[in-house]
Amino acid sequence: MTKRPLEQNDMNNEQSQKNNQANDLIITEQHSNLPIETHPFTPVLPPKATVMMMGTFPPTSDKWAMRFHYPNFYNDMWRIYGRVFFDDADHFRVGNEKHFDPERIRAFLCERGIALCPSVKQAIRETGNASDKHLTVVTPVDLPTILPQVPNVTTLFTTGGKATETLIGLLDEPPPKSKYPKTNQSIAFPYHTPSIERQMTLYRLPSTSRAYPLALDKKVIAYKAFFEKMRKL
């Protein structure tokens, strides 16, 4: 997303569209027997947001405990938020039931100025589950459409490697993979379109899936350090 004259941007966008079409054709041929799924949840885009959390794809609907981002009760995302902001892992939980309250979560995100948007719009589950390792991205997030809705967001933070790779892949001149941020690291980059010009930072935080080999307490420490840095605490 380096700055170029408008004419060059148009040429690059046209070439990017052609490349995406070619990639879509390859993906379709490789996984012709598997469905392309569209992310089921709409972004949460508070107008005053200054940071935006970006994951990849939810589990299959049979694993949902609610119709909201990170819907699996056994994913620790909303426990981590509960501990970081309220010192209570069950803050967003509905009593003793095995689900969280999406409306309380949404209200909290809007009040704290934290946007939430997946990095992937469409994907193919190669093995039928939520594993990022076996997720083929068909259509990534359309940042030129999302970012104007959150004009104060200059920091994106991902919840794992796949989301990080997806977003970095949108850069005009992505760095080599050896330079991608590791967990709890960040990179800065300029984001330029004909209508947007921002200096952005991308942080990579730990996955909140229990399959990710890191103790819950250490994940809480990582998220708390990030939100303190962002002055959300």
Q: What is the mean pLDDT of residues 8-30?
A: 46
- For the chain, the domain total comes to 1
pLDDT computed for residue 11 by the predictor: 44
Residue 93 sits in a domain of what CATH number?
Answer: 3.40.470.10
The yes-or-no verdict on residue 229 having pLDDT over 90 is yes
Q: For residue 174, tell me if it sits in a domain.
A: yes
Cα 61 from Cα 69, distance rounded (Å): 12
Q: For residue 14, tell me if it sits in a domain.
A: yes
Give the pLDDT confidence of 197-225 residue by residue, as tens digits.
Answer: 999 999 999 999 999 999 999 999 999 99
Q: Which residues of 177-202 are buried (b: 16+ CB within 10 A; e: fewer)?
A: eeebbebeebbebebbbeeeebebbb
Q: Count of CB atoms within 10 A of residue 229's CB?
A: 13
Q: What is the mean pLDDT of residues 148-172?
A: 95
Q: For residue 134, tell me if it sits in a domain.
A: yes
Q: For residue 1, tell me if it sits in a domain.
A: no
pLDDT computed for residue 130 by the predictor: 65
The yes-or-no verdict on residue 38 having pLDDT over 90 is yes
Q: For residue 72, tell me if it sits in a domain.
A: yes
pLDDT computed for residue 21 by the predictor: 45
Q: What is the mean pLDDT of residues 147-174?
A: 95
Residue 143 is part of which domain span?
A: 6-229
Higher model confidence: residue 13 or residue 109? 109
